[in-house]
Amino acid sequence: MDRLILLAVPVVVIGWHWFIHQQSGGRSRSPLWGAFTATFVAVLFTVAGVMGYEINRGVPFTIASDWKGRVLWSEIALGAALALVAAYLWRVGLRQLQDSR
């Protein structure tokens, strides 16, 4: 059963990516998709770091030990790094969008 699941997951992921690529007319590889994701994750880590919530594996906001009661600079640094990546992807993606017109 485990082997079946290990084989089914990649097939589903590849099939879903192919479906989205076909439906979007090939735009699924645009840097804007990465920009959306990087922006969301940057905001998530920055806000969590400022609030003192340590993002780890588990059910979010249910484990009381995840709240540290202090600013988590490592998460803020990760959020800032991802914000730089997002800014770069926004710049490239919007430039490609403008050039295609």
Q: Quick check: is 84 in a domain?
A: yes
Please give the span between the terminal C-alpha atoms of the chain, in angstroms, as a whole number. 50
Containing structural domain, residue 41: 29-99
Structural domain tally of the chain?
A: 1
Maximum pairwise Cα distance, the chain? 52
Q: Quick check: is 86 in a domain?
A: yes
pLDDT mean over 32-50: 92
DSSP 77: H
Q: Quick check: is 18 in a domain?
A: no
Q: Quick check: is 54 in a domain?
A: yes
Q: What is the pTM of this model?
A: 0.69
Q: What is the pLDDT of residue 47?
A: 94
- In angstroms, the CA 26 to CA 72 distance is 40
- In angstroms, the CA 56 to CA 99 distance is 41
Please say whether the beta carbons of 66 and 15 come within 8 A.
no
Q: Quick check: is 82 in a domain?
A: yes
73-94 pLDDT per residue, tens:
999 999 999 999 999 999 999 9
46-76 pLDDT per residue, tens:
999 999 888 876 666 566 667 788 999 999 9
Q: Quick check: is 92 in a domain?
A: yes
Q: Quick check: is 3 in a domain?
A: no
Q: Quick check: is 22 in a domain?
A: no
